[in-house]
C-alpha cells in the first residue's frame, strides 16, 4: 500500500496544506516546531483512526477551529486498487476536551473498525520511549493501534467492548446512587448481568488476540534479549468484585485495564521462559503459578524455568539508551508482525531518529529503506548519510 498524497485542513499548525510522497523514501526537512511530527501524526490517524500522541482527539484541531479534516489518496500496486481515505474530527460544544470523529472510504461513511487498516503504518520517534516509561493507558493504546490495522474482528470487538464498558459504568453509577428504577431490588442487577455476559464474551476475544500478538512479537525479540510480559486484568464475575465496582461506580477489571512490560535478560533465560511458559503473562503477585483459561493469568511452567526475578524490568532499571533501543526493536518486530499478518509491508514513519539513535542503530533502521514506503523527518541534511538513504525525495518545511 502506497500513500500518494495528503491534504490537511485545520490540523494542528496546518490551516491548509497539501503534500505528495515518493513511493520509496520521502525526507521531510525543517527546524523544530515547524510541524514535521504533526505531519506524521496525521498519516497515523489515517492508518489507525487514532493519534499516537494526543491524549484527546480535540487537541489535534487547530486552535479556534470547529473541526479538522484529513484526506489521503492511497494505492495498492499489487491489486491495482486506489482509495480515498478521509477522517474528520469535530469539536463538541459540551466539553473542553470532547470531540467526535467521522470516517469515510471513497466517500462512503465507515465505522472506525472498517476504516482502520486500509492504510497501515508503523511509527518510531522520540515519544515512543513512553511505551516503556509511560502509563498503562499508553501501552494499551499501542496494542489497539497495531491490532486494528491487521484484524477487523479485533477492531469490531474492541469497538463493541468500549461501548459495553461505558454502558456498564453508567449502570454501576445509577445503582450506587440509588436511582429507583435501577435499584438492586428493581432489576438493576439483572441489567448488570446482561452487560456482564457481553463484557466477558468480547473481552475474551481481545485477550486471546493480544496474547497471540505477544507470542509473535517475542519470537522476534528474544534474539535481542528482550521479552514482553503481558499483564492481563481479566474480568472477575464474583460477588465481592461486583460490590467493589458498584462502590467505585466503574468497571475495575477487564481488557481496558491490561498492561505489559519490557524485560531484559540473557538469551538462555529467555529461551527457557519462551519454551516453558508458552504464554506471555507476568507472574501474578502473591499467587502461585498454575494452569489458566483464555482470560487467565499464567500457564504452567516447568520447574527449571527461570523466575521473573531473574529479569530486569527496563522501566525501573534500564538506562535511557536501553529503553530507547528496546522500543526500536519493538518497532522492528511490529513491522514484521504487520507484514506477515497482511502480506503487505506497512508504511514506515521515522521521526527524528538521527538525533535519537547512535550510528550503529541508525544503520539498522536505514537498512530497512527500500523494503517499504518510508517517510523520515530530520532537522538538518548534514545529519544524514545520503548514500544510505539512497533514492529519495526531499520535502522542506519552513
* Residue 293 clears pLDDT 90, i.e. is over it: no
Tell me how long the chain is. Answer: 398
- How does 165-198 read in b/e, with b if 16+ C-beta sit within 10 Å? beebbebbebbbeeeeebeeeeebbebbeebbeb
* Residue 347 clears pLDDT 80, i.e. is over it: yes
From the list 350, 349, 348, the residue with the least C-alpha distance to 383 is: 350
pLDDT score at 298: 35
* Residue 184 clears pLDDT 90, i.e. is over it: no
Query: What's the order of all strands across the beta sheet hosting 393-396?
Result: 121-124, 347-351, 374-378, 25-29, 393-396
pLDDT score at 370: 81
Confidence tier at 88 by pLDDT (50, 70, 90)? very high
Which of 93-97, 145-149, 246-250 comes out lowest in average pLDDT? 93-97
Q: What is the mean pLDDT of residues 104-114?
A: 96
Three-class SS state of 169: helix
The pLDDT tens digits for 369-389 are 888 999 999 988 776 665 566
* Residue 48 clears pLDDT 90, i.e. is over it: yes
Confidence tier at 283 by pLDDT (50, 70, 90)? very low
Q: Calculate the dihedral angle through the C-alpha atoms of 261, 48, 41, 347, rounding to the nearest 10 degrees.
A: 90
Q: Is 212 exposed, middle or buried (0-12, 13-18, 19+ CB in 10 A)?
A: middle
The pLDDT tens digits for 26-44 are 999 999 999 999 999 999 9
Distance CA 211, CA 196 (A): 22
Which domains, from first to last, does the chain contain?
1-120+344-398 (3.40.50.300), 132-339 (1.20.1050.90)
- Alpha carbon distances (Å) from 37 to 13, 26, 33: 11, 14, 9
Give me the chain's average pLDDT, please. 85
- Return the biggest CA–CA distance within the chain: 74
Handedness of CA 151, 155, 160, 161 (dihedral sign): positive
From the list 213, 13, 41, the residue with the least C-alpha distance to 127 is: 41
Confidence tier at 300 by pLDDT (50, 70, 90)? very low
pLDDT score at 268: 53
pLDDT score at 229: 92
pLDDT score at 285: 37
C-alpha count within 13 angstroms, C-beta hemisphere, residue 126: 8
Confidence tier at 398 by pLDDT (50, 70, 90)? confident
Confidence tier at 93 by pLDDT (50, 70, 90)? confident
Asked if residue 116 lies in contact with residue 159, where contact means CB atoms within 8 angstroms, the answer is no
* Residue 89 clears pLDDT 50, i.e. is over it: yes
pLDDT score at 290: 30
Q: What distance lies between CA 49 and its chain's CA centroid?
A: 11
Q: What is the mean pLDDT of residues 4-25?
A: 97
* Residue 359 clears pLDDT 70, i.e. is over it: yes
The pLDDT tens digits for 211-224 are 999 999 999 998 88
* Residue 286 clears pLDDT 60, i.e. is over it: no
Percent of the chain exceeding pLDDT 70 equals 84
Amino acid at each position: 500500500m502506497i500513500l500518494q498524497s495528503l491534504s490537511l485542513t485545520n490540523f494542528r499548525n496546518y490551516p491548509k496544506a497539501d503534500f505528495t510522497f515518493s513511493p520509496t523514501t520521502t525526507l521531510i526537512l525543517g527546524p523544530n516546531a515547524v510541524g514535521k511530527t504533526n505531519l506524521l501524526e496525521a498519516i497515523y490517524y489515517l492508518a489507525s483512526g487514532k493519534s499516537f500522541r494526543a491524549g484527546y482527539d480535540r487537541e489535534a484541531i487547530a486552535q479556534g477551529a470547529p473541526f479538522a479534516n484529513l484526506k489521503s489518496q492511497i494505492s495498492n500496486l499489487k491489486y491495482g486498487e486506489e482509495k480515498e481515505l478521509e477522517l474528520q474530527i469535530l469539536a463538541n460544544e459540551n466539553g473542553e476536551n470532547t470531540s467526535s470523529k467521522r470516517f469515510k472510504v471513497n466517500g462512503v461513511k465507515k465505522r472506525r473498525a472498517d476504516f482502520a487498516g486500509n492504510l497501515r503504518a508503523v511509527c518510531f520517534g522520540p515519544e515512543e520511549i513512553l511505551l516503556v516509561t509511560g502509563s498503562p493507558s499508553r501501552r494499551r493504546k499501542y496494542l489497539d493501534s497495531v491490532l486494528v490495522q491487521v484484524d477487523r474482528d479485533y477492531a469490531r470487538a474492541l469497538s463493541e467492548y468500549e461501548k459495553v464498558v461505558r454502558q456498564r459504568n453508567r449502570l454501576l453509577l445509577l445503582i450506587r446512587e440509588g436511582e429507583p428504577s435501577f435499584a438492586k431490588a428493581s432489576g438493576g442487577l439483572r441489567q448488570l448481568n446482561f452487560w456482564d455476559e457481553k463484557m466477558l464474551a468480547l473481552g475474551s476475544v481481545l485477550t486471546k488476540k493480544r496474547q497471540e500478538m505477544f507470542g509473535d512479537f517475542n519470537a522476534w525479540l528474544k534474539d535481542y534479549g528482550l521479552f514482553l510480559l503481558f499483564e492481563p486484568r481479566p474480568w472477575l464475575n464474583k460477588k465481592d468484585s461486583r460490590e467493589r465496582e458498584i462502590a467505585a461506580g466503574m468497571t475495575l477489571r477487564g481488557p481496558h485495564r491490561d498492561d505489559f512490560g519490557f524485560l531484559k535478560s540473557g538469551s538462555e533465560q529467555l529461551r527457557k521462559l519462551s519454551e516453558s511458559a508458552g504464554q506471555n503473562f507476568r507472574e501474578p503477585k502473591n499467587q502461585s503459578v498454575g494452569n489458566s483459561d483464555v482470560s487467565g493469568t499464567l500457564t504452567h511452567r516447568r520447574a527449571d524455568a527461570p523466575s521473573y526475578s531473574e529479569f530486569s524490568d527496563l522501566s525501573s532499571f534500564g538506562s535511557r539508551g536501553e529503553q530507547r533501543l528496546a522500543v526500536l526493536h519493538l518497532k522492528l518486530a511490529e513491522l514484521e508482525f504487520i507484514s506477515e499478518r497482511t502480506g503487505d509491508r506497512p508504511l514506515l514513519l521515522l521521526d527524528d531518529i538521527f538525533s535519537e539513535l547512535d550510528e550503529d542503530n541508525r544503520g539498522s533502521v536505514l537498512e530497512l529503506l527500500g523494503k517499504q514506503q518510508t517517510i523520515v523527518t530530520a532537522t538538518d541534511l548534514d545529519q544524514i548519510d545520503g548514500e544510505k538513504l539512497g533514492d529519495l525525495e526531499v520535502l522542506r518545511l519552513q
